[in-house]
Structure 1
Amino acid sequence: MLDQEPGPDASGRRLSTRQAADLLGVKPETVYAYVSRGRLSSRRVPGTRGSTFDADEIEALARSNRRESHTGGGVGGAEDRGAAPAVRTGVTLIEDDRFYFRGVDAVELAARHSYEEVAEWLWTGRMRAGVAFDAPRASVEAARRAVGALPEHTGPADRLRVATIACAVTDPLRFDLSEDAVLGTARTLIPTLVAALPPKVPTHRDGASLAQRLWGRLSWRPAAESPVHVLDAALALLVDHDLAASTLAVRVAASARAHPYAAVSAGLGVVEGHLHGAAGGLVHRLLLDVLDRGSAGPVIAEELRAGRRVPGLGHRLYRGEDPRARALFALLADVPAAAPALAAARDVERTAARHAPLHANVDLALAVLTASCGMEPSASETVFAIARTAGWIAHAQEEYGERPLRMRPSGHYVGPRPPRPLP
């Protein structure tokens, strides 16, 4: 029993957990999830384990949930009419060309905190200064064996997906979907994925940050402070971005109560698309071509002549420059080795602006980092996938608190009408 039934306070406007859950049409556990995500406030009842909730808050949340359901937030409604579903989330807000993690400006957060600290903020709404993620030896060994058996040409998403599956089979408690268990999985899975990638330079060092460990898997050059700082900021900025395609896949998996490893694997399957996580590799090659030719003009001309969209430019969620790109460009300006690639990126942006008023997105900024720091074109895909794993876990955790299988739209059948004769 989660709590005892407290009576109403003197105003008559306090509800017990059970009463609040009944009014919202959710489980009592979900009521507490709303509290942890800041959507509700609660007050403990002295002498009991129970909490009470403001009735007006509960009624307002119930009305909001009903409105979202009518606009496609659940099964039926607008979903059945072909509209895109709306999914309640307290993780990321994108508004007026800025984005926020749990209400805090994400760019400012990434400027002041490490990737691990930002991930903890995303998961718990609490800042744990100096937090570090450690990988269990058993899961690292299993993941390295699995990744080591893959062909040399295997791409980053495949390596990470295989490593994720290897981690899952070493965890007999993976089906525990309680909050503590899910967060425990997150804190060990992410460093295991990094450790499973083949190293290019020695990286093991006591107290090394995740960005320092990842650097040795991406670049042939020794880690230097300023570029590693840019990598750490990139991880923090890329940790989540509302309901991107991979995040939606994760939430669908979590809605079916797939364990966190399976949910992350669903996200990794989508990341491989060239319109999502693999886009940075296209920009990397574009920048190398611009650097080789000395000007963006002929390179952009060939892209347009072939009918291709110029990669690294434009984002449908921002009218101006992607704030993630702006933040990374500012940091890259302090990395001397990045100066030529940074100039090439600005040349691409200026040249393409004659054709269409598009601004730089985060893929262009990531490509400056990868192209100037001895990394392969696929490195940005690795950075994206590692970073976004934390966001996927946050969304999976959120989805576990919702009604199971709610993300089940109805198909709009357009085939031949039955009955038809047997073929």
Structure 2
Amino acid sequence: MAEELSFPTGLGTSDATTISLLGQDLAGDLMGQVGFGELAFWLVARRRPTRGETRVFEAVLVALADHGFTPTAIAARLTYLSAPEALQGALAAGLLGGGSRFLGVTEDCARFLSQALDDADKRDSYDEIALKAVRATRRVPGLGHPVHKVEDPRTPVLIRIAKEEGCYGPHLALFEAVGRVHPKKLPLNGAGVCGAALADLGLPVDLLRGFALLARAAGLLGHLAEERRHPIGMDVYLTVDRNAVYEP
């Protein structure tokens, strides 16, 4: 007798009359009762966040939603210019640009801080842990910003919210210490602070880039909506094309 196949999941399922998600009735228990940010947290952490955790988490999503004409936004707009019939392609093009320089910093910073905390002597202060971690690496992810040279305006707000909600933990404390002890005195990048905040919420470090992409998806959709109303993609393309220098 053939072995019966089984594909377990604790997320969602449905039958002819109901849809279940996270052990709840989607229509009766979640729709209109749970915000999207709260649900996104719940889906990954497999626990419902507290009100304070939800506030911090959604502040992170808002902080990462858009940052102007970044490469991710330009990629989305130019892809839309090339294939306006495929909105999903334009959105995906922007998300694919989330890497070590843009968006990926959120996860990279959290990973750096988490590793430093794991390696630390428990008797050391945060400043001592930070100094050892800084000396052991060539570049600290999340430190410095190409535009915000003195202070990233997102940074003090996120730290304040985390403290207000009792969610200020070792990752944020260590990242602030990194800013204090680093010899170049660079500002704490908002994306890096987002990573520290998410790590302090107990979310898996290996998935934090996904939350940055979740936030940026909203911003990219906004760029594509604006591209429909006030297109700039053709001007960007022609500016590059007409100023290209051919060097055979």
TM range (shorter): 0.7 to 0.9
Choose the corresponding residue for 2:49, options 203, 218, 223.
223
Choose the corresponding residue for 2:106, options 274, 280, 283.
280
Q: Give a deviation string over 1:94-127, Cα, whole Å, max 9, x none.
A: xxxxxxxxxxxxxxxxxxxxxxxxxxxxxxxxxx
Percent identical pairs in the alignment equals 24
Residue 298 of structure 1: how far off its partner (Å): 1.1
Change (3 A) 1:378 1:278: farther
- SS for the counterpart of 1:386 is helix
- SS for the counterpart of 1:378 is helix
| Cα contact 1:321–1:359 (8 A) shared by 2 | yes
Choose the corresponding residue for 1:236, options 56, 59, 62.
62
Change (3 A) 1:282 1:385: same
Residue aligning to 2:91: 264
Q: Work out the CA distance in 2 between the residues paired with 1:413 and 1:209.
A: 52
Q: Give a deviation string over 1:170-206, Cα, whole Å, max 9, x none.
A: xxxxxxxxxxxxxxxxxxxxxxxxxxxxx9x657523
Q: Work out the CA distance in 1 between the residues paired with 2:181 and 2:168.
A: 20
| Cα contact 1:245–1:270 (8 A) shared by 2 | yes
Q: Give a deviation string over 1:336-364, Cα, whole Å, max 9, x none.
A: 35332221111111111xx2120111122
User: Any unmatched runs of 5+ in structure 2?
Assistant: 1-6, 8-20
Change (3 A) 1:202 1:316: farther
Change (3 A) 1:223 1:400: same
User: Any unmatched runs of 5+ in structure 1?
Assistant: 1-147, 149-198, 416-423
Q: Work out the CA distance in 1 between the residues paired with 2:232 and 2:197.
A: 42
Change (3 A) 1:403 1:297: closer
Residue aligning to 1:329: 159
Residue aligning to 1:247: 73
Residue aligning to 1:34: none
How many equivalent residue pairs? 210
| Cα contact 2:107–2:195 (8 A) shared by 1 | yes
Residue 289 of structure 1: how far off its partner (Å): 2.5
Residue aligning to 2:190: 362
Change (3 A) 1:321 1:356: same
Residue aligning to 1:389: 217
Residue aligning to 1:89: none
Residue aligning to 1:101: none
Question: Which structure 2 residues correspond to residues 283-294 of structure 1 after superposition, within 5 A?
Answer: 283-292=109-118, 293=120, 294=124
Q: Which amino acid aligns with 1:383?
A: F
Does residue 296 (structure 1) correspond to residue 133 (structure 2)? The answer is no
Q: Give a deviation string over 1:224-276, Cα, whole Å, max 9, x none.
A: 110111111121222211111100101111222433211101111111x2111
Bigger mean CA deviation after superposition, 240-249 or 203-212: 203-212
Residue 329 of structure 1: how far off its partner (Å): 0.8
Choose the corresponding residue for 1:206, options 24, 27, 31.
31
| Cα contact 1:254–1:400 (8 A) shared by 2 | no
| Cα contact 2:109–2:195 (8 A) shared by 1 | yes
Residue 319 of structure 1: how far off its partner (Å): 2.2
Change (3 A) 1:232 1:299: same
- SS for the counterpart of 1:336 is coil
| Cα contact 1:247–1:392 (8 A) shared by 2 | yes
- Calculate the TM-score normalised by the size of structure 2: 0.76
Q: Which amino acid aligns with 1:215?
A: F
Change (3 A) 1:348 1:400: same
| Cα contact 1:281–1:378 (8 A) shared by 2 | yes
Report which structure shows greater RCO (CA 8 Å, sep ≥6). Answer: 2
